[in-house]
Structure 1
Amino acid sequence: MDDQIYSEKRYRELLSFSLGVMNGDDVKTLIDTYKETIDSVTPYDIVRVEDMQLQMGIKPDLIKEYLEKIVNVITKSLNSYEWKKPAKGSFLYYMILENDAFAFKLNQIKKIIKSYNGREHDDFESMRVKLLPLFREFRDFEHHYVKKENILFPYLEKIWEYYRPLKVMWSLDDDIRESLKKIIGLLEDRDTVWDDFKVILGQYFFKVFRMIHKENAVVYPIASETVSKELWEEMHLQSFEYPFPFIEAPEKPMSKDHKKLNAESNIIETDNLIQNSRILFETGILSAEQVLMIFNHLPVDITVVDENDKVAFFNKAEDRFFPRSPAVVGRAVQNCHPPESVHVVEDIIEAFKTGKRKKADFWIQSRGKFILIQYFALRDESGAYKGVIEVSQDATNIRELKGERRLLEWS
């Protein structure tokens, strides 16, 4: 009981400290006031405090603005927290390995820049040519963030009581993505000068190194102590849907008995179920296997959200450009988006539920492709709302079509 009381006291004092920083109070005075708490803070405390801030209505942008000031003060305590490191070959083991490999590459770039000490302005063109391919390579680390957001986060949302800070971390991931785009854009522009580049470079390095620390010192220790071995095995299997950036890809383990369990709905799927099931439609009969093949061979990404705002299904189209993992099935759709864009999803769902709208269209430019994104309200024969289907497709080639093609031509 004493430990529980002390933990509660530590959490309350850390909350007061963080709110004081946000209010602009003198940081040194705050540190002196809460020194005992600061010296003993744990990863659990920082997550719980941030969760409370969000529940108090503090916006993610404000939390992000002051987060580093707060973390800087408690870094020593976080780094001294003792936790059992993940077993070799586990999901978390490879996530940490990827972080280590990324940090190594970041430090190699630092060495390159340092070699230009005193010559940054005059020889920036030479530096630019060296750095551009290296920063382009950093785009591959996107797979690390996607695995974290689409595999790890859905599991933690089901296990952690204080899971809301994961949304803030996702937003920070997006900030890193945006910074990398700016850096590559500057390096691709021959008119860029060192003074402009070094500002964005400093911001990027700060963000990525701080993210590595947040993962390794906060999220991973708590995850290691709260997630079961069976769930780690599930995550590890799902991670093979993505590359392993900057490390040697491990050998994929065999799934046990070819059976998967959806922890949210307790639905067990086996190969036998798929092979033996046949579905009678008004317009024909298909096996479950045929239905799945149709979904997966359509040149579109499909995601279905049910009437309770939970992800119910997604297809595995070839070259899917919006990543999905089995872990998202059963996940609240609001948790599938960073804070900056979740309001758009909520507006669409609300308009569909009330019947004000039945369709929403968006189109974006991404990775040299023109992507059409469409949302359709799902309703049964009585008109009752049954969810949303999201259909996205690469319309780049479609936009370029002209005239007619009536004869067979293999492209």
Structure 2
Amino acid sequence: MSKTIDFSRSVYELVTEYPELVDIMAELGFTEIKKPAMLHSVGKLMTIPKGAKIKNIPMEKVLMALIQHGFTLSGEMPATAMDEVPETVAAVAAEEAPVSRTEQLKAYLRRLGAGESLESVRADFVENFQDVEASEIMQAEQELMREGTPLAEVQKLCDIHSALFHGATREEKIANAEKEVMASVRRAKELAAQKDYGNKNERAAVLAAIPGHPLHTLTRENAVLSGWLTEAKAKLDAHEELGELFARIRELSVHYAKKGDLLYPLLKVKYEISGPSNVMWTVDDEIRDELAELSKLDAHTPAWEERLRAVLQRAEEMIYKENNILFPICSVNFSETEWHGIYRDSLDYADCLGVKAEVWPEAATPAAAAPASEGEIVMPGGHMTLEQLTALLNTIPLEISFVDADNYNRFFNEGPKVFKRPGMAIDRDVFSCHPPKIEPMVRSIIDDFRNDRRDSVPVWMQKNGRIFLVTYMAVRDKTRKYLGTVEIVQDMEFAKEHFAH
């Protein structure tokens, strides 16, 4: 049977068909061909003529060796094949020293960019990187982004990484997950000496065991979601409708929002760990958006089911990434004070995935006021100069009037007003500013506020041909102590005009 060498085919393809080529090419000087990682990465992009040019091996020598071993030659001959070699391939292939694992990971990504199927790359990835560490994935992602690789391409590496956790059997999945859990995570070189990642998983487990701790809540949510995803897949296999289960799974959007608002930015800005925020955050959005799109389609066709299976798989993979990469990284880097702040901020989010957030007493005490510069006004939510605060209140498209607990006018924001508020009215009794027929209503509203019978009173009215909403609201502190009343006037004509179109 004729053995044909087509010079347009990759080295990997030729070696796969003719294994004896490995020794032949190695004797000619192509020593990298005996390194499985190189063969499975760069070898899939490299042809023999291009490799000869990079290694400065005369093609005549290559041709003679192949002919002597009984090969027939076809495809692009050396004279035309010795064109420009892609710089990214040449830079890796010409290196005689062992290629770093990060560079090998990046080579997998380049193969995807060249159009190779995800499954093919995944197969090689699992074969050569079963013991890859989370930090190596993170480092490869960050280096690629620094080199200008589009974020969409980097996200593919995130998808390949999920192959680590998905063996053919349940036992393999557990084994791979445990291997990843025990892998040490290292930060970038400049932070490696400052952070001990050796016990990252133990630290994450300790935090996740504290009732009310953010990792406790997030981990419980993942456990529930994992069960629902398994149930959903079983229903799809049985050709059953998901019903309410689909809506419950979509609650992962709240879980993802908490990660996006509370974890990713802190990792990126303070600790310069941008991989999770740039890659995982985008995957979160894609999962959430795909579920939303599928929910709008009434016809549950085979194509719809296929899309649903795919997004459920991505959601399952995200659970692994959170539990084995994101949460351990956070546990090593975030300070106790930062975890307290994350807990307090998380209280603004609705409970989701059937998990009710527990109280974390240690973090329940409000944080101390943020440090302020001289001349600033310090508030629980931050600090501003008087100039900034004044401009902010004047910029808000509302007429704002504040009456204190003793019924005196204390503040009007500036600017044109439909309901005039003369500056001379400041420090006057609020009732003196209303005509006799209105005064009883004003007294009644404030009395209800003072005695905690009501919190707000909306009044819709027309004035000068325009619609206005006047809202009176009780101003209270956190103990519900009455501090005064605020009147807010808003021109609602814009809403009428908006919905008229």
Q: Which moved more, 1:82-91 or 1:248-257?
A: 248-257
Amino acid at match of 1:57: G
1:140-155 correspondence runs (5 A): 140-155=251-266
Indicate yes or no: 2:232 matched with 1:109.
yes
Residue aligned with 1:259, SS: coil
Residue aligned with 1:92, SS: helix
Number of the residue aligned with 2:305: 198
* Contact 1:20 1:30 survives alignment (8 Å): no
Indicate yes or no: 2:371 matched with 1:248.
no
* Contact 1:39 1:74 survives alignment (8 Å): no
Number of the residue aligned with 1:334: none
Taking CA–CA contacts closer than 8 Å with sequence separation of 6 or more, which of the two structures ends up with the larger relative contact order? Answer: 1
Amino acid at match of 1:141: L
TM-score, normalised to structure 2, is: 0.46
Number of the residue aligned with 2:326: 219
Taking the aligned partners of 1:212 and 1:237, their CA distance within structure 2 comes to: 24
Amino acid at match of 1:135: F
Specify which of 323, 336, 344 is matched with residue 229 of structure 1: 336
Number of the residue aligned with 1:184: 295
Number of the residue aligned with 1:348: none
* Contact 1:143 1:242 survives alignment (8 Å): yes
Specify which of 43, 56, 74 is matched with residue 147 of structure 2: 56
Question: How far 1:180 sits from its partner (Å)?
Answer: 0.5
1:395-410 correspondence runs (5 A): 399-400=498-499
Judged with a 3 Å threshold, the aligned counterparts in structure 2 of structure 1 residues 194 and 396 are, in CA distance, closer, same or farther, namely: farther
Indicate yes or no: 2:382 matched with 1:259.
no
Structure 1: gaps (5+ residues):
1-7, 121-126, 282-287, 300-392, 403-411
Number of matched residues? 271
* Contact 1:259 1:270 survives alignment (8 Å): no
Taking the aligned partners of 1:27 and 1:79, their CA distance within structure 2 comes to: 23
Judged with a 3 Å threshold, the aligned counterparts in structure 2 of structure 1 residues 173 and 268 are, in CA distance, closer, same or farther, namely: farther
Taking the aligned partners of 1:56 and 1:231, their CA distance within structure 2 comes to: 31
Question: How far 1:240 sits from its partner (Å)?
Answer: 0.4
Question: How far 1:238 sits from its partner (Å)?
Answer: 0.6
Structure 2: gaps (5+ residues):
1-98, 167-175, 184-198, 400-491
* Contact 1:43 1:218 survives alignment (8 Å): yes
Question: How far 1:50 sits from its partner (Å)?
Answer: 0.5
Indicate yes or no: 2:180 matched with 1:78.
yes
Deviations 1:153-196 (A, max 9, x none): 1211133333144122221111112211122122xx2xx24413
**CA RMSD, 1 decimal:** 4.1
Question: How far 1:11 sits from its partner (Å)?
Answer: 3.7
Amino acid at match of 1:167: N
* Contact 2:109 2:154 survives alignment (8 Å): no
1:342-353 correspondence runs (5 A): none
The share of aligned pairs that are identical, in percent, is: 21
Deviations 1:45-97 (A, max 9, x none): 11111011111111122222353234414773424436121241311221111
Taking the aligned partners of 1:218 and 1:141, their CA distance within structure 2 comes to: 18
Rg (Cα) greater in structure: 2
Taking the aligned partners of 1:271 and 1:73, their CA distance within structure 2 comes to: 44
Indicate yes or no: 2:293 matched with 1:170.
no
Judged with a 3 Å threshold, the aligned counterparts in structure 2 of structure 1 residues 98 and 14 are, in CA distance, closer, same or farther, namely: same
Question: How far 1:17 sits from its partner (Å)?
Answer: 4.8
